[in-house]
A = this chain, B = another copy of it.
Amino acid sequence: MPRASRDPLTHEVVDLIGSVVARYHEEYDRAAATHSLTGAQARVLALIALDPLPMRQIARALRCEPSNVTGIVDRLEARGLVERRPDPSDRRVKVAAATADGTRTAEQLRDSLDFAREPLAALSRADRTTLRDLLQRMIGEHSDA
């Protein structure tokens, strides 16, 4: 049976997705650097700015070991963007939450993500709808993250 990756059309699409991935990261890291944040720090800040999360769950969302989150949150906390709060219902748990300053930074971060604007601006509303539907079907029901 022929491999999809051997199909020229699929190969083109995979290459394009590779370009999208590269572009996504460039823009994300550049936006993060604007605030003197690393990519990982920006991701954690953006995540808990939505709502506070226990360290463990941050690790799950980032798909990394919990021990790594300690350092990332340490550095965010040292800059006053994040704070650790005790969980009254389980004193083992520490909930990481964005401070007012962190929330503001997260908002600026999101706004400065040109990726949302510039590349997609080349597409009409109908095109974006088509793209959304195709990507949805491609990604499938990953209700995971």
Contact = CB atoms under 8 A, between A and B. Distances in A.
Interface of A: 3-5, 9-14, 16-26, 63, 110-111, 113, 115-117, 119-123, 125, 127-132, 134-140, 142, 145
A123 B145 contact: no
Contacts of A125: 9
Nearest to A118: B4
Contacts of A142: 19, 23
A30 B43 CA distance: 21
A4 to B, nearest CB: 4
A16 B116 contact: no
Contacts of A136: 16
